């Protein structure tokens, strides 16, 4: 019973302290709001030249007014700078999107004539077209496509048999020995690659002559 009574008293004391703390916080907030209101009223009167004060405090009031005007000027500048920055970001985003669209449009416009050539080829009468004519047409289309790629800074990576393997531009698909080709050199070209400027878009596919295996001597029988 004594323990229960003590627990009830502790709880009541804690509740009373909580109420006192809440009332103290509310009073502190109220005093802060009243102080802020008084300060704002003084500032407004000072700005309007209606603040009544003694002669010895006139310079203080004048300094207060100058400080508030400077604050308002700086705040106005800050708001204008923030608005200008937002406008700049919107313009930059729009310009970036427009640049991407224009670049894509240029590529599409350059490829359309090539597509027209394909369409013309498909209208030919198969009975009147020889295999050689078809092959010549395909070569012509390939050359035209390569020319268009070149206009955009794309160049082929076309290694030849015997060239030294370059891992920056070549992808070794397999190892294959070839007569007269040194190890670490290309023994077969399996597909050309492409570069955009100095950036490799796709490496050339090649076969490489493997390095000779180190001879392992057999142990002599004793």
C-alpha distances (whole Å) from 91 to each of 102, 130, 159 are 16, 57, 46
Write down the pLDDT at residue 33. Answer: 81
Asked if 148 and 121 touch (Cβ cutoff 8 Å), the reply is no
Write down the pLDDT at residue 110. Answer: 87
Give all strands (DSSP E) within the chain, no chain letters: 154-157, 170-175, 186-191, 193-196, 199-202, 204-208
pLDDT in tens, 133-190: 888 888 988 898 999 999 989 999 999 999 999 999 999 999 999 999 999 999 999 9
- Cα dihedral 96→101→102→104 (10° resolution): 130
Distance CA 206, CA 192 (A): 9
- Taking 50 as the threshold, does the pLDDT of residue 119 lie above it? yes
Asked if 175 and 207 touch (Cβ cutoff 8 Å), the reply is yes
Taking Cα atoms as reference points, which of 201, 163, 200, 167 lies closest to residue 185? 163
- 151's CB contacts (< 8 A; 6+ apart) are 110
C-alpha distances (whole Å) from 209 to each of 99, 102, 123 are 46, 46, 46
208: phi then psi, degrees, rounded to nearest 5: -125, 140
pLDDT band at 58 (very low <50, low <70, confident <90, very high): confident
pLDDT in tens, 84-111: 999 999 898 888 888 888 888 888 888 8
Write down the pLDDT at residue 35. Answer: 76
Give the SS3 label for residue 201. strand
């Amino acid at each position: 019973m004594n323990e229960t009574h003590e627990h009830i008293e502790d709880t009541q004391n804690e509740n009373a302290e909580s109420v006192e703390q809440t009332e103290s916080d509310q009073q502190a907030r109220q005093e802060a709001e009243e102080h802020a209101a008084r300060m704002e009223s003084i500032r407004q009167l000072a700005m309007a030249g209606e603040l009544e004060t003694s002669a010895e405090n006139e310079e203080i009031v004048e300094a207060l007014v100058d400080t508030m005007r400077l604050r308002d000027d700086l705040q106005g500048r800050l708001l204008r700078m923030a608005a200008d920055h937002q406008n700049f970001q919107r313009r930059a985003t729009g310009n970036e999107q427009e640049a991407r669209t224009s670049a894509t449009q240029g590529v599409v416009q350059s490829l359309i004539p090539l597509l027209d050539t394909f369409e013309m080829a498909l209208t030919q009468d198969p009975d009147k077209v020889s295999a050689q004519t078809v092959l010549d047409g395909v070569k012509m289309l390939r050359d035209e496509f390569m020319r268009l790629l070149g206009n955009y800074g794309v160049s082929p990576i076309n290694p030849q048999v015997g060239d030294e393997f370059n891992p920056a531009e070549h992808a070794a698909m397999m190892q294959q020995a070839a007569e007269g080709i040194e190890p670490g050199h290309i023994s077969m070209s399996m597909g050309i690659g492409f570069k955009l400027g100095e950036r490799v878009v796709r490496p050339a596919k090649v076969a490489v002559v493997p390095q000779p295996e180190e001879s392992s001597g057999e142990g002599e029988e004793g």
